[in-house]
Amino acid sequence: MTHAFPPRPLPELPVQGSGLTYPVARIFCVGRNYAAHAAEMGNAVPDEPFWFTKSPFGFLPSDSILPYPPGTSDLHHEVELVLALGEGGSVWAHGVGLDMTRRDLQAKAKKDGKPWDTAKDWEGSAVIAPLVQGAPRPTPRSASPSTARSGRMRASRRWSTASTRSSRISGRSTRPGPVTS
């Protein structure tokens, strides 16, 4: 069968110092994983992680210019630990990313009881730096990443990296290719 038009190849993340790239098949993001931010946004913090997805075509290399997205006047970013999963859901590599959100579109969608994918998923909504092969240290089982600026805590994750990853792979394909944040 012939394609109506050429399909887009999957985006690829560079892996530092290796000459390898990691094909991005899907992008899974954890919602409300920072308790203080959830409270700031007027949301309850769930007992278990919940997930939303971004198209792999939302990926933007971190050395690129992010054009201001259309349809918004309130663009926010959240710094995220990125895990590139390998066979069986193991952590194959890790990195840093920005989860970009058109906050005004998200607020309207939530108010109207509609999905908020238009606020979270567009080309450039997942800015990701080159990956570092292997799991982050300390090991993901004990890690619960946090961010501090000038010695002041800015964000602390609600769930450990291991419990978040376990939740993501539960009941889903564990083939290599997904990126989680």
- Stretch 87-109: mean pLDDT, rounded? 91
State yes or no: pLDDT of 170 exceeds 60. no
> Mind listing the pLDDT tens digit for each residue in 10-49?
999 999 999 999 999 888 887 766 555 556 666 666 677 6
Name the H helices within the chain: 35-40, 103-111, 117-120, 161-169
State yes or no: pLDDT of 159 exceeds 50. no
Mean pLDDT of the chain: 80
| SS3 label, residue 80 | strand
Q: Decide: pTM greater than 0.85.
A: no
- Stretch 134-152: mean pLDDT, rounded? 59
Tell me the C-alpha distance between 131 and 30, whole Å. Answer: 19
**Burial tier of 124 (Cβ tally within 10 Å: 0-12, 13-18, 19+):** middle
Q: What is the pLDDT of residue 5?
A: 95
User: Which residue segments constitute the domains of the chain, with CATH numbers given?
Assistant: 26-168+175-180 (3.90.850.10)
Would you give the distance in Å from CA 167 to the centre of its chain?
Answer: 15
Tokens representing 103? 């906050």
State yes or no: pLDDT of 73 exceeds 50. yes
Tell me the C-alpha distance between 159 and 106, whole Å. Answer: 23
| Beta-strand relationship, 50-54 and 26-31 | antiparallel
